[in-house]
A and B are shown apart, each in its own frame.
Chain A
Amino acid sequence: MHKLGRSLLVGSVFALVGACARTPPVAMLRPVVAKPAVERQLSAGEGRHLLNRFAFGPKPGEVEQVVKLGAVAWLDAQLGPRAPDPALEQALTPYRSAMEAPEALVARWLGGDWQDGAMRDGEIRKEIKDRAKDQLARIALTELTRHIQSERQLEEVMVDFWTNHFNVFGRKGLVRIFAGDFIERTLRPHALGRFEELLVATARHPAMLLYLDNARSRAPRENASGEPRGGLNENYARELLELHTLGVDGGYKQGDVDALARILTGFSVRRPKEGGFGFMFRPGAHDGSEKELLGQHFAGGGGEEEGLRALSLLARHPATARHIATKLCARFVADEPPPACVEAATRSYRESNGEIARVLRTIALHDSFWQTSVQNKKLKTPLELVVSSARALGARPDGSLGLAKVLERMGEPVLLESVPTGHPESESEWADTSGLLSRMSYASLLGAGRLPGVELDLEKVLSAKGDELVPRASALLLGAPVRERTVATLKNAVAGLDDPEARRAIVVALLVGSPEYQRQ
């Protein structure tokens, strides 16, 4: 569609040129018909830019592959069907329990006891707390391993995006046992799919319902002596409007929060004694009264269907289209997203009824993405720094849980942001003294091969000796060209040092910790 539009334009310009008796030099017309990057051969810098944003950065040799393939073909492959990846599955083996179903997990931890109803939920919570200490780290390593090794890079980037968009806090009560399932079986399968399906899946997931307290929210009612018991908890309803769908400026009122909270009463979690963990709609908790949400009338008595209708209404709302489009343009293009990108992405969302793949394609092929003014400008988050440097250097998690702690120390632990906004995206949130110091520390330990939890053979990717080391390492990590000052600093830092291992360690550490490498 996009491509067709372009070639029609080019054709009509040539027709115009042919029709003129005195043809102006074609060169004069070039600015009008200059091909966008997506249709011509990409430069190496542009190939790197595409991989920096729509993947977690290039692996050695990958820039050249993308240049050869072209942006459109690369994107098509990324958005196409999933191929089996036995090497990745093998690498995930040590962390397999992160993907185990909650029931299997608890059965293994607690033995058969928990099923017979002898243990109360409160006791289960305490038992699990003790045994689940490493569970979040296993989930983190599952995600990190996939981010680093998977060929489905755009899916990985979007899983990270949705993990923050639909943030849950892994250390809140039973969320621990549902968090892996939430990422792997809820966010991942829908990461490139339809937003409405993703939204409904999160709204029916125990991790979300427990994290934002909806599981225990119920219609206010009175007991026999007229005292109120049970009650409404509007935490989830509010974040659903503010963060997940319409956005804080999306035009809803306190009355809408209240109505949505009532509509969602009953969306809850099935307990072990009720037949195993899972989603459960509790009719007894549901508020049967009439409600009015965003000008739509809900007659009451609709039970679970009311919630599904509300979620559908929210997913299709124009404010949601704009909110998601804005966040995606901020993620893929610039912290202050170009208005033209937001417009195009919003339109794409509305036309496709929230097909995420379509919106991503629109952004990737949009001119604003290819402007030199946005390339190498966006500050990497700590997660992006860790994953991109691991990819560039061929580093891999070593089967231990060490890398989860590394990420935690850098300020972006997986599933451990307690506020519903998730980890932030923008430079102003991350460009800070402590953050920069932890990045330099990370780089120093990585270069020296002392980073806990990582397997790295620097000699394999960087066999260059003598004077060749600095230019080769710079090209590997930064591409070209590299600042004069940086090259001089690197040379200086290894001057008079013979030990090849120490030389490699220093050059890699300084490059990964350099100001340039913090950006993508």
Chain B
Amino acid sequence: MGRRSLLLSASSLGLAALWPGVALAEAPPAAKRQRVLVVAFLRGGLDGLSLGVPHGDAGYYSARRGIAIAAPGKTGGAIDLDGYFGLHPRLAPLVPAYRAGELALVHAVGSPHGTRSHFEAQDYAETAMPGARSVRDGWLGRALVSTGRARAPLGVVALSSKRPLALRGNLDVVSAKRIDRFALRAPKKLDERLTRGFEALYADNDDPVTRAGHNALDVARRLRDIDRSVDASTYPQGARPLAEVAALIRADVGLEVAWIDVGGWDTHQGQGNSESGRLPRLFDGLGKGLAQFRADLGERFADVVVLVMTEFGRTVAENGTGGTDHGHGSAMLVMGGPVRGGKVYGKWPGLAEGSRHEKRDLAVTTDYRDVLAELSTGHLGAPHAALVTPDYTPSPLGLLR
């Protein structure tokens, strides 16, 4: 208790204060070969059993008569990864990355907290402090602040209409649904007077509202001039945010963290299997988008890690409406040059009723904080895991090279 409240108060005061001088330094010129972490949060509760299909577990097929993904080799079957697990067939575009050792699957991963509420579980996944309701900063925010590095105005970007809880904390975040349209909309002949007027009104920077306004105007000025050489039309509709992140990375604006919200994963009905239904459509966009992202980054992919995660998994059994209800354990994808991929991580608990969480859901054998802390320390350079997951001592999985 004492430890948590100490760390919490340290983080709420701004951990940057622990490294005086460094955090206050002027932003560096956009550095080449900046390491980048991209988090794609699948909101609604991804069915991990459709992402990483446990075709070797007979329990999977007996629990899902209508929506199971067939075994590899059958019509519409999964793409085998290691003889036991397979990828959903609509994720075929990711197979080259897996074979090249740049994509890992983490299975039976999730929260130690049993909540099946979306917003509570999302909050916990974003604070990385499951069960603590009043935490006001997020794991990524804490990780970034703890590095003590100064960063460029476009260093942290959320492709989301609102700043996600994961990125709350004492740091500046640019959040916008579409970064390429981040500009003041004003009639041409008034534009300059209005821009200067607003810049003066928001000069103070002294509370969350003025600070957000100040940053908005600053970033809008900078974005006018960046080069965009990524063709967004080559990305599926739902994966456009990945095109914008690729453009920012290639433009060397000093991007360090990008957050992407992807909605629609709450598949209570009409989940579908391999061809039609909601999940096949969603996986189609995800697979093509991530593959295009990797291709667009080329050799820059060596510095980039993409984490695909969700708030919880879904029931092992199919429900009465061709879908699945809120469950517990799920699966993650971790992709990028620094990733030790080509492997399925985690310990498989099995799907027999006795092995399930509360007899209904995939059990959690890997705490998601192990992954979040490992990427924070190993990739973003947070000095201590305890600064990222204050009430938990994580065990790294060895995901990074």
A contact residues vs B (CB 8 Å cutoff):
213, 216-218, 220, 227, 229-235, 238, 242, 248-249, 254, 257, 379, 411, 418-421, 427-437, 439-441, 444-445, 448, 450, 485-486, 489-490, 492-494, 497, 502, 505-506, 509-510, 513-515, 518-519
Interface secondary structure of A, over-half rule: helix
A-B contact count (CB 8 A): 170
Partner of A506, one of B174, B197, B209, B210: B197
> Does B73 interact with chain A (Cβ within 8 Å)?
no
> Does B11 interact with chain A (Cβ within 8 Å)?
no
**Given that A233-B319, A441-B186 are known contacts, is A427 also in contact with B208, CB under 8 Å in the complex?**
yes
Q: Specify the chain A residue showing the minimal Cβ separation from B123.
A: A248
Flag if A435 contacts B212 (CB, 8 Å): yes
Q: Specify the chain B residue showing the minimal Cβ separation from A230.
A: B320
Q: Which of the 9-residue segments B80-88, B188-196, B340-348 touches chain A? A: B188-196
Flag if B185 contacts A444 (CB, 8 Å): yes
In the complex, what residues of B have CB within 8 A of residue A257's CB?
A: 116
| Bound form: Cα–Cα A198–B121 in Å | 28
What 4 A-B pairs come out closest when comparing CB atoms?
Answer: A231-B320, A444-B186, A441-B185, A437-B216
Partner of B116, one of A233, A238, A518, A519: A238
In the complex, what residues of B have CB within 8 A of residue A213's CB?
A: 268-269, 321
Flag if B189 contacts A502 (CB, 8 Å): yes
Q: Specify the chain B residue showing the minimal Cβ separation from A212.
A: B268
Beyond A433-B215, A433-B216, A434-B175, 6 additional contacts (C-beta under 8 Å) are: A231-B320, A431-B212, A432-B162, A506-B190, A509-B190, A510-B197
In the complex, what residues of A have CB within 8 A of residue B161's CB?
A: 411, 434-435
Partner of B202, one of A230, A231, A427, A515: A515
**Given that A444-B185, A444-B187 are known contacts, is A428 also in contact with B219, CB under 8 Å in the complex?**
no
Name the interface residues of B198-216: CB closer than 8 Å to any CB of A. Answer: 198, 200-202, 204, 207-210, 212-213, 215-216
Flag if A433 contacts B194 (CB, 8 Å): no
In the complex, what residues of B have CB within 8 A of residue A428's CB?
A: 136, 168, 208
Partner of B216, one of A233, A434, A494, A502: A434
Partner of B325, one of A230, A233, A429: A233
Flag if A490 contacts B197 (CB, 8 Å): yes
In the complex, what residues of A have CB within 8 A of residue B19's CB?
A: none
| Bound form: Cα–Cα A432–B201 in Å | 16
CB pairs A–B below 8 angstroms (15 shown): A217-B321, A231-B321, A238-B117, A419-B119, A433-B174, A434-B177, A437-B182, A437-B213, A441-B186, A450-B187, A485-B204, A493-B196, A493-B200, A510-B194, A513-B201
**Given that A217-B320, A220-B320 are known contacts, is A509 also in contact with B186, CB under 8 Å in the complex?**
yes
Smallest distance from the beta carbon of B236 to chain A beta carbons, Å?
A: 19
Flag if B215 contacts A440 (CB, 8 Å): no
Flag if B194 contacts A248 (CB, 8 Å): no
